[in-house]
Amino acid sequence: MIKKIPRKPSYTQIRWLCQIIVALIVLMLPVTITLRLVLAFLFALIVAIALLAYRISGVAPWQLELLKSPDHRVAFLESLFYTIDSFGLLIYLIASEHAIVHFACGFLGIISAWLAIQLIYSKEYAVRYYHDGKGLVFPGCDLPNWTEFLYQGFCMAACYQTSDTSINSTAMRQLVATHGMLSYFLSVSIIAIIFGMIGNLL
């Protein structure tokens, strides 16, 4: 009888578990329920950013191909979850009167969601690039490092394009399209909550 080797949890699953634990701890703070929800969202995202940054700093992008297959549905669903949560938080804060501290924490939460999504997709660009053999063309760079993939991720989020990087595969175009769409909706949320904060101060 062949013994089944227990599958180790992935780094992403460990990160999610850490985020859930932190969110649950924050939800027990002796503050108003509104502030608890906002802070839980904010701190869970801070954990995500810290662990994503740690992962990126500790592994060369070409090593990611050995760690996982490029199933980008996970990245899309996680990013979509953060986007929907950001919209829910935004609607909740704008729909009724809240203290400026709630708006400030909500604003930081949405900014954190935006930053987390850029790190998630920068990592996915690296995985797709090295797993499929290209997909992105970085002029003058035969072995792209994190600088190139972070550049691609943050330029797509801020400008929805890059001036010098070319895309030459359908799979990469799909990844770029979902990234641009989610980043756009989050950018709209950030602008809306700024107006909500201004309206609350007037």
- Can you give the pLDDT of all 202 residues of the chain as single tens digits? 444 445 566 778 889 999 999 999 999 999 888 788 888 988 999 999 999 998 888 877 777 655 566 667 888 888 888 888 888 877 777 766 666 777 778 788 888 888 999 999 998 888 888 887 778 888 888 888 888 889 888 888 877 666 678 888 888 888 888 888 888 888 887 787 777 667 766 6
With respect to residue 173, please indicate whether it lies within any of the assigned structural domains: yes
Q: Which residue, among 115, 96, 4, 99, has the nearest Cα to 56 in the 3D structure?
A: 115
Tokens of 116: 């987390």
Q: Which residues contact 166 (CB under 8 A, 6 or more apart)?
A: 136, 137
Q: How many domains does the chain have?
A: 1
Q: Count Cβ atoms below 10 Å from residue 189 Cβ, excluding itself.
A: 23
Query: How many whole angstroms separate alpha carbon 116 and alpha carbon 53?
Result: 9
With respect to residue 41, please indicate whether it lies within any of the assigned structural domains: yes
With respect to residue 161, please indicate whether it lies within any of the assigned structural domains: yes
With respect to residue 5, please indicate whether it lies within any of the assigned structural domains: no
With respect to residue 135, please indicate whether it lies within any of the assigned structural domains: yes
Stated as kind and residue range, the H or E segment containing 167 is: strand 166-167
With respect to residue 131, please indicate whether it lies within any of the assigned structural domains: yes
Query: How many whole angstroms separate alpha carbon 69 and alpha carbon 142?
Result: 22
Domain range for residue 157?
12-201
Tokens of 26: 């924050």
Dihedral, CA atoms, 17, 78, 71, 147, nearest 10 degrees?
A: -90
With respect to residue 70, please indicate whether it lies within any of the assigned structural domains: yes
pLDDT in the model for residue 1: 43
With respect to residue 6, please indicate whether it lies within any of the assigned structural domains: no
Q: Which residue, among 40, 42, 77, 64, has the nearest Cα to 122 in the 3D structure?
A: 64
Are 88 and 194 in contact, with CB atoms under 8 Å apart?
Answer: no
Query: How many whole angstroms separate alpha carbon 107 and alpha carbon 42?
Result: 9
